[in-house]
Amino acid sequence: MRFDVITIFPELVRAYFDESILERAQKKGVLDLRTHNLRDVTTDRHHTVDDRPFGGGPGMLLKIEPMVTTLEKILGKSADKKKRPATTKVYLMDPGGVQLSQTVARKMAKSKHIVLICGRYEGFDARIDAWVDGKISIGPYVLTGGEIPAVIVVDVVARMVPGVLGHADSAKDETDVEAGFVEYPQYTRPEVFRKKSVPKVLMSGDHKAIAEWRRKKSSHV
């Protein structure tokens, strides 16, 4: 699966993409994670990506031309929404968007190619709406930029892509708050730490008893 993140701070995003599980998945060829600096497509001397809002008011907005030019660079003809395949999606990171959840992520994971646009300052020139398939919020609060939200979206969706997690069963039995399920507690070595022991049943080798204990210890809200 491919993700492209459009941002004025690509190194913030790359720092997360190029470690651990996401890094391994890219090496394996399961994920293709690309970042694009909005400034790269600007033609003026100062590489201007933002400007003041018409009508006045505080702060700056990301300009429309660099965003659309970058989309065209990434998507070619599919930058045009009418020519975009159903498996390619463009989303704005936006605190007013649809709130990310496991269900929203599962729907997103059906795409083959996702482009995420990160806002900064006061947000975007609203004409960008004509190029996007949706707006995603990571929660009911406002951050200074869309980079952390974009990284969160990529991370949540990527771990649903087969081959990304080391073990095929890792995503099984996981906490799914929407479904009212919280995973059972887990322990690793040492068996005793500062007089606190691991529950005996987990050492018993009795797989039926362990499964039963885990079932009881999971919460079904």
Residue (10 or 146) nearer to ligand SAH, CB = 146
The minimum distance between CB 173 and ligand SAH, in angstroms, equals: 29
Residue 146 lies near ligand SAH (rule: CB under 6 A): yes
**Contact between 66 and ligand SAH per CB under 6 A:** no
21 vs 143 by CB, closer to ligand SAH: 143
Binding test (CB under 6 A) with ligand SAH, winner from 19, 65, 107, 139: 139
CA nearest 39: which of 12, 65, 8, 4? 8
Choose which of 28, 40, 52, 96 interacts with ligand SAH (CB under 6 A): 96
Pick out residues in 109-138 that bind ligand SAH (CB under 6 A): 118-120, 122-123, 137-138
Return the closest-CA partner of residue 202 out of 175, 191, 183.
Answer: 191
Q: How far is the CB of 82 from ligand SAH (least distance, A)?
A: 25
Site string for ligand SAH, 2-41 (x = CB under 6 A): ----------------------------------------
* Residues in binding contact with ligand SAH, number by CB under 6 A: 18
Q: Which residues bind ligand SAH (CB under 6 A)?
A: 93-96, 118-120, 122-123, 137-139, 141-143, 145-146, 149
